Structure 1
Amino acid sequence: MNARPLTALFALALAACAPLTPQRPAEKPAEKRYTATELLALQPAGLAWPAASADGERALREAALADIRARIALSPGAERDAALPKLFDLVAQYNAEIAAARPLLLEALPTLGPREPEFQRAVLTAAHTLYAADAAPLIWPLLPQLTASKPFAIAAYTLLQADAGYGERLRVLVPQQFPGWADDPRLAALMHRLQPSAAVPPPLPELLAAPLRPGFPVIVSLQRPGRQQMGLALVRGADGRFVREASGQLFTSPQLALARTGLPGTITNGNTPQGLFTLVGAGTASNPNIGPTPYLHSKLPVEATPAEFEHADTAPADWSLATYNSFLPASWRGWAPFQEAWLAGRAGRDELIVHGTTINPAYYAGTSYFPGTPQQGCMISAETWDAASGRLLASGQLALAQAYAAAGARQDLAGYLIVVELPGQGAVTPAEALALVTAAGR
């Protein structure tokens, strides 16, 4: 295989779920956008991705491992500091050299106080992703030096992951260090996490039956709390009925809404936030971890304008929680966990799309979510690629996108996406989904 294309692919491989990666800011990204008719005409055999072949994947992995080792070998100093964010991204993606990279993380943590917030974010994210237990003793004394809310929140979540006993101390510290925490979406989400609650979730069938905006199709992604298990995506047609297979069985498609970081949805590169998104079409990504299968373009509140979210020119000019809640049944409007998407949009999260994957699931063998391949906050469906040619053999993403396109009867593919957590253990099952749809009368 020609080395140049693989090198270019590797250079892009650490992009987040951003579907587009223009080479220069002045360039208009060359991206194929799809109508419903075009999307429905696609066949797996017509899609291929060289880096998904065995040779292509091996070349990317070998390049990544060489890069990891080169970064680890750098001497302490500015060059190594600059290399750390990408180093830890690679370590997490390839599940490689975790022990060898640990000392660099532990050495960097005590130095974070005077560093730029973005560097703090990257290092603390690595601590949460890979080394929470080892990092926690170094993070607690660092907290007073973290004056930006994003690094502080990541540090707090890392402490909670290491030991839930930090919760009470954090509940006292946040208002002391950030008196205006309630106006910061990241800190508001953190404080909600820190408040004990015995509240019972509203009835999920009521959400599944809610019209949102009549005449638009809806994807419903049922996920477990913590996202450590595979979820299921369902499709509700423009007529309000959930899509069935030709056999009469409910259409369900496994989907992972877990990010590699495991951070909450209000944090950069965190899990897909729970809540309501709008869908504004489909396109082909340039991100090599996503591959050529068309993604569905989902947008959060604030990322999408109110008019774009409403799919109507008569929407309010400015966003508000009331506008977000207007889509929901009354029983769900006060349920704070379902407002995570609203907070995530306010926090600046974007480009959390519904897509496939070219990442080898073997990297995550033995995990509770295998064969899922977490990335950086998107909703991901499994795909199978031919080892010899890189041609697509089977695609949960294409099946989901086509079920949505057929159910919507709209060439522009406009609609909605619900991501909602379903209590329970293990992967979400079709039987659970069917029971909910039946209770919703849909």
Structure 2
Amino acid sequence: MHYFVSSALSAIALLLTANPPQPVIAQAPPIRAYQQKATDNARKDQILDQQQKAAPSRFDLQQYPISDRHLTHWQESLWAIGVLAPEKDYALQALENVMQLATANNLSDPQKAIIDTAFQVGHQLYTLKPAVYSQLKQQFLRTINDSTDPMWVAIAFSALSKAPIYPEINPNNGQGDRLQSAQINKLTQKVKQRFPKWAQDLHLKTTLQNINNGNSSVSQRSDLPNLKDLLAWKIAPQQAHMYVFCRPNRDVLCLTVLKDRNGKFVQQNRQLWSAPLLLQSIHNLDWNFTNGRTPQGIYRMEGVSRQPDDEYFHAYGQFSLVNLFVPFESGVTAFLPKQKGKFTGDLQAYQSLLPVSWRNYAPIQQTYWAGSMGRSLFRIHGSGAAIDFFSNKPAVVSTQNFDWNATLGCLSALEIYDDRGSLLKSDMPKILDALQKVGRGKIEGYLVVVDIPSDTDQPVTKEEVMKYID
């Protein structure tokens, strides 16, 4: 496991260090109708900052060797490439220069962290902008063939399995699916040969499972256990339960509904209370990687992380963040009521938190395995970034919900401003208020994420969910 978090996560890590979970008083602070950092001029400055950090001179290896001393420099510069997705040879070369170190020996932890960032950004650009970044294929293949790091091998294999340009074939010749399947099978055998204990490494095991399933959590609606059982179940008594229902295609919005401490679903204006959220990764990474999509499964919901000023406005908007904890994650007061501390049980103990019909359903176990792999810092939050800040956003977010921003694994709520910095709409006050009311002054309980397959890419609707509520 690599010990340095990416620069993209460092901001939230600092925020949470300064603002530990606050479960007692959960009321949202007053809404600030104007945000200077959301004005048109501020947006232009944000893009200019990214352009400066992605400038060709920043990737001069003689001036900035890939060393411990330049950890922040390289992570910020690589992140900026991911934001801007420049169609320039120097950006491709910069990624190649870092990724080729994946086969080097005696790397320090800061060097590994730089390589981590390069692989995540490389995965994003290779899978979402293959016309420009297709040459990264050779680095991914080299990693699979020669790297001893199972996580980098897993990300490389994930990228190759998703990219439409791998292998280079004519998709209209009728042989595309069969040839790609043959290539994937060949790489699968290569990985298993190089890592005989691959089944004991969670990154490799889950990646191979994801690829074998066609990079989908579940292929058919018939595979899904009865939602009625899940919605009627209580993970623990006298706890609020929030459910987030998504499509396997996370490009579209998810639907959130809420059950109070007595097991009754919250109503608003005589209708089922709901809120839309986006659970998509800007890096196009799967749930089993840091900064990947939000995993399915159980989260402990406990307190908020306040924003006393606008220092982190660009990343998280102006409102408090709702804290979510996966199994094995530190920082939680009590994952299970009356049992202090984090969840430390085995898989069977996790399964016992679910209704019987759901206990052997593999996708609902994702939070258990994600926590085992070290994923953390999941939050429900808004966004102060412009809706077009990420150049590759159209490739991972549907046009019908483009006002929502993709994240690095968190659950994204709507928060949009006009060019003058005036708040137009935000769902975080509604979410915070509902959680505070059902928690009787606290935000605590459980959140459960479930993908519901569909023949269409339309979001889950309230009418669809209401069929399973008694």
Q: Tell me if both proteins adopt one fold, taking TM over 0.5 as the criterion.
A: yes
- Counterpart AA for 2:137: A
Q: What amino acid maps onto 2:465 in structure 1?
A: L
Contact map agreement 1:279 1:416 (CA 8 A) in 2: yes
Amino acid across the alignment from 2:276: P
Partner of 2:442: 412
Task: Choose which of 234, 241, 246 in structure 2 pairs with 1:218.
Answer: 241
* Aligned twin of 2:434: 403
Aligned length: 415
SS at match of 1:125: helix
Q: Percent sequence identity over matched residues?
A: 21
- Secondary structure at 1:170 match in 2: helix
Secondary structure of residue in 1 paired with 2:138 = helix
Give 2:8's match in structure 1, choosing from 12, 15, 19.
15
Relative to structure 1, is the Cα distance of residues 304 and 107 closer, same or farther in structure 2, using a 3 angstrom cutoff?
closer
User: Quick check: 159-168 or 56-65, which moved more?
Assistant: 159-168
- Displacement of 1:284: 1.6
Q: CA deviation at 1:235?
A: 1.4
Unaligned 5+ runs, structure 2: 1-5, 167-179
Pair 35,111 (structure 1): closer, same or farther in 2 beyond 3 Å: closer
Secondary structure of 2:12's aligned partner: coil
Greater mean alpha carbon deviation, residues 271-280 or residues 126-135 = 126-135
Match of 1:435 in 2: 464
Q: Secondary structure at the match of 2:301?
A: strand
Deviation of the 1:49 alpha carbon: 4.0
Distance 1:96 1:271 in 2: 20
After TM superposition, give the deviation of residue 147 of structure 1 in Å. Answer: 1.4
Aligned partner of residue 361 in structure 1, secondary structure? coil
TM-score (norm 1): 0.84
Query: Which of 157, 175, 198 does residue 192 from structure 2 map onto?
Result: 175
User: Contact conserved, 1:205 with 1:436, CA < 8 A, in 2?
Assistant: no
5+ long unaligned stretches in structure 1: 1-12
Q: 8 Å contact 2:243–2:256 — kept in the other structure?
A: yes
Moved more, 305-314 or 163-172: 305-314
1:227 partner letter: R
Amino acid at match of 1:378: C
Secondary structure at the residue paired with 1:350? coil
Instruction: Sort the Cα spacing of 1:119 and 1:63 in 2 relative to 1 into closer, same or farther, 3 A.
Output: closer
- 2 CA distance for matches of 1:333 and 1:317? 17
Kept after mapping to 2: 8 A contact 1:305/1:319: no
Normalising by structure 2, report the TM-score: 0.79
**SS of equivalent residue, structure 1 residue 301:** coil
Deviations 1:389-427 (A, max 9, x none): x45442112212222222233x33110111111112334
Question: What is the match of residue 278 of structure 1?
Answer: 300
Correspondences of 1:61-100 after superposition (within 5 Å): 61-71=47-57, 74-77=59-62, 79=64, 81=66, 83-93=73-83, 95-100=84-89
Residue 435 of structure 1 deviates from its aligned partner by: 2.4
Alpha-carbon distance in structure 2 between the residues aligned to 1:357 and 1:176: 44
Q: Which whole-Å CA distance do the structure 2 matches of 1:311 and 1:327 have between them? A: 12
> Are residues 22 and 237 of structure 1, via their aligned partners in 2, closer, same or farther at CA, if it must alter by over 3 Å?
closer
How much does 1:107 deviate?
4.7
Whether contact under 8 Å (1:355, 1:381) holds in the other structure is yes
Q: How big is each residue's C-alpha offset from its partner over 1:45-82, in whole Å with a ceiling of 9 and x where there is no partner?
A: x465432222222222212212212555x434461645
Q: Give the Å deviation of 1:204.
A: 2.5
Q: For residues 330 and 350 of structure 2, what CA distance do their matches in structure 1 show?
A: 12
Within 5 Å, give how 1:186-205 maps onto structure 2: 186-196=203-213, 200-205=223-228
Residue in 1 aligned with 2:157? 156
Give CA deviations for 1:310-334 in whole Å, capped at 9, x if unaligned: 1222799832112211111111111
Which AA in structure 1 matches 2:438? A
Match in the other structure for 1:348: 374
Provide closer, same or farther for how the CA distance between residues 437 and 173 of structure 1 changes in structure 2, counting only shifts above 3 A. farther
SS of residue paired to 1:211: coil
Match of 2:119 among 119, 124, 130: 124
2:27 corresponds, among 38, 60, 67, to 38
* Matched letter for residue 327 of structure 2: P
Distance 1:99 1:250 in 2: 49
- CA offsets per residue over residues 252-278 of structure 1, 9 Å max, x none? 212111111111112111111111110
Q: Say if 1:351 and 1:30 are closer, same or farther in 2 by CA, change over 3 A.
A: closer
Task: Please list the CA deviations of residues 100-132 of structure 1 after superposition, one character each: whole Å capped at 9, or x if unmatched.
Answer: 522332454444310644333222212210024
Answering whether residue 338 of structure 2 is matched by residue 312 of structure 1, we say yes
SS at match of 1:359: coil
SS in 2 for 1:220: strand
> In the alignment, which residue of structure 1 is the partner of 2:171?
none
Within 5 Å, give how 1:263-412 maps onto structure 2: 263-285=285-307, 287-288=312-313, 289-304=315-330, 308-313=334-339, 318-363=344-389, 366-367=394-395, 368-369=397-398, 370-388=402-420, 390-409=421-440, 411-412=441-442
Report if the CA contact (8 A) 1:49-1:291 is conserved: no
The CA deviation at 1:141 is 3.0
| 1:298/1:47 CA distance change after superposition, 3 Å | farther
Aligned CA-pair RMSD? 3.0
Q: Verify the 8 A CA contact 2:317 2:384 in the aligned structure 1.
A: yes
Which amino acid in structure 2 is aligned with residue 75 of structure 1? D
Residue 88 of structure 1 aligns to a residue whose secondary structure is: helix
